[in-house]
Amino acid sequence: MKKRRTGLSTRSLWAGEREYLAFGATQVPVVHSVSFGYNDMDEWYDVATGKKEGHIYGRNTNPTVRAFEEKIRILEDAEASTSFSTGMAAISNTLATFLRPGSRVVSIKDTYGGTNKIFTSFLPDQDVEVTLCDTGDHEQMIREIKKGCDLVYMETPTNPTVKITNVRRIATEAKKAGVRTVVDNTFATPINQNPLSLGADLVIHSATKYLGGHADALGGAVCGSREDVEKIYHYREINGATMDPMAAYLLLRGMKTLKLRIDRQNDNAQAVAEYLKTVPEVEAVFYPGLTEHEGHQTAREQMRGFGGMLSFSVTGGVPAVQKLLPNLEFANRAANLGAVETVVGPTRTTSHVECTPEERAAMGIPESLIRYSAGIEDAEDLIEDLKQAFAAMKQ
Ligand SMILES: *Cc1c(COP(=O)(O)O)cnc(C)c1O
């Protein structure tokens, strides 16, 4: 009999852990040991040469970290996965594994700030050509892919105006051209979207955000085919951007509630976005769950939920933002996102702090844009909190 596929909640809880439980522990132990000893020289040799499963040295592998890798691998339904100290390490190590001087990358303008820096500065310095298309302009992306490239890099939904790229459409074109596709799935999480099932080759996460969910551990992950992941792992194993075992434990613990949290954050973001539309001081609301959002139809097709991230701009520019945000009681004013608590921040201070006002304007980012990462509070409290903050802003 074919085994029934378990649901995402059950998988969030149980996936990847059983093999790493020792001493009858019901939770994965945190193994801080840097090295793993062998009395049998033949066994040591077999583990060191990859003939036998096991651990040698903490920069390469660690049992707690391995359990984290297994959980994200199963949630993304991938053949293999590996982990990193941060999301940026996952991104930079993946790019470095596959790109050489003379390579060409096709991506979008709205990638995460750190990724954008790599595309606009670090890679060009190493003679890698990077073409950044207008986010959401699929025709332009396809034209650029057809001109010839070595890697296609997507992120959907994006920061800060939550634009949507049709992963299947772009991955299909890339496949025809024989090009590898990478998707940063941090905003969606495997609960809302599985890029590999849409035809992507590799999926990347900043585990720091929704996977951990509690803003208390840094980490990154890459999932894909065994062949690709082994190459990326080898690069990371040598270069040393390894996940810490304690971080792996905290991320594993956070991931147990991933499905519960994401469902709640999807609902809260939708409720807040709909409320913001009724506020006279709000100029624009960006959320893929709103029917008028330009990516709404694609999001419906490729996502199971619209996510916990939204953004909005207010009348009165930066002074209005400076008056509004300090009034919020149930929101951290900080640079991170994806935590259980609501997090807010002006885009000009957070994700796009390195851009000039003119550059932000060219990217369609108003100076008064506020990024809102919905937490798991009661939706009514988040809306009441915004109501009183807008009232205080007007005084
Ligand atoms: C935060 C973030 C990253 C970088 O992750 P770190 O863990 O901070 O290095 C990459 N991509 C997206 C979409 C992010 O939000």
Overall number of domains in the chain: 1
By residue range, what is the domain housing residue 342?
258-394
Indicate if ligand 1 lies below 6 Å from the C-beta of 306.
no
pLDDT in tens, 225-273: 999 999 999 999 999 999 999 999 999 999 999 999 999 999 999 999 9
pLDDT in tens, 61-110: 999 999 999 999 999 999 999 999 999 999 999 999 999 999 999 999 99
The mean pLDDT value for 165-178 works out to: 98
Residue 395: pLDDT band by 50, 70, 90 thresholds?
Answer: confident
**pLDDT for the residue 55:** 96
Cis peptide before 29 (omega within 30 of 0): no
**pLDDT for the residue 350:** 81
Q: Which token pair is 270?
A: 């939708």
- Residue 3 is assigned to a structural domain of this protein: no
The mean pLDDT value for 361-387 works out to: 93
- Residue 290 is assigned to a structural domain of this protein: yes
**pLDDT for the residue 347:** 87
User: Where does the chain show beta strands of DSSP type E?
Assistant: 80-84, 104-108, 129-133, 151-155, 180-184, 202-206, 220-224, 282-286, 309-314, 332-333, 343-346, 369-373
SS3 164: coil
- Residue 33 is assigned to a structural domain of this protein: no
- Residue 341 is assigned to a structural domain of this protein: yes
Residue ID of nearest Cα to ligand 1 atom 8: 87
**pLDDT for the residue 114:** 92
Residue owning tokens 């990371």: 236
Residue 2 in this model has a pLDDT that exceeds 80: no
| Distance (Å) from CA 184 to ligand 1 centroid | 9
Which ligand 1 atom minimizes the distance to the CA of 351?
A: 15
| Distance (Å) from CA 44 to ligand 1 centroid | 37
- Residue 340 is assigned to a structural domain of this protein: yes
**pLDDT for the residue 101:** 98
SS3 392: helix
SS3 234: helix
Mean pLDDT score across all residues of the chain: 96
For residues 255 and 211, the answer to whether their CB atoms sit within 8 Å is: yes
The mean pLDDT value for 296-316 works out to: 97
pLDDT in tens, 11-51: 999 999 999 998 999 999 999 999 999 999 999 999 999 89
CATH classification of the domain holding 351: 3.90.1150.10
**pLDDT for the residue 326:** 96
Indicate if ligand 1 lies below 6 Å from the C-beta of 218.
yes
Indicate if ligand 1 lies below 6 Å from the C-beta of 113.
no
Residue ID of nearest Cα to ligand 1 atom 11: 112
Q: Which token pair is 33?
A: 């040991």
User: At a CB cut-off of 8 Å and minimum separation 6, what does 171 contact?
Assistant: 152, 181, 198, 199, 200, 201
Indicate if ligand 1 lies below 6 Å from the C-beta of 92.
no
Bridge partners (DSSP) of residue 281 are none
The mean pLDDT value for 214-231 works out to: 98
- Residue 295 is assigned to a structural domain of this protein: yes
Q: Residue 283 — φ and ψ, nearest 5°?
A: -80, -45
**pLDDT for the residue 237:** 96
For residues 81 and 226, the answer to whether their CB atoms sit within 8 Å is: no
- Residue 302 is assigned to a structural domain of this protein: yes
- The DSSP annotation for 256-286 comes to TTHHHHHHHHHHHHHHHHHHHTT-TTEEEEE
For residues 351 and 369, the answer to whether their CB atoms sit within 8 Å is: no
Residue 1: pLDDT band by 50, 70, 90 thresholds?
Answer: low
- Residue 222 is assigned to a structural domain of this protein: no
Nearest to 220 by CA among 256, 254, 186: 186
CA distance 346 to 353: 9
| Distance (Å) from CA 23 to ligand 1 centroid | 35
pTM over 0.85: yes
What's the first-to-final CA gap in the chain, in angstroms? 67
Which of these ranges, 158-162, 175-179, 209-213, 214-218, has the smallest mean pLDDT? 158-162
pLDDT in tens, 320-363: 999 999 999 999 999 999 999 999 999 888 877 877 888 788 77
**pLDDT for the residue 344:** 97
Indicate if ligand 1 lies below 6 Å from the C-beta of 184.
yes
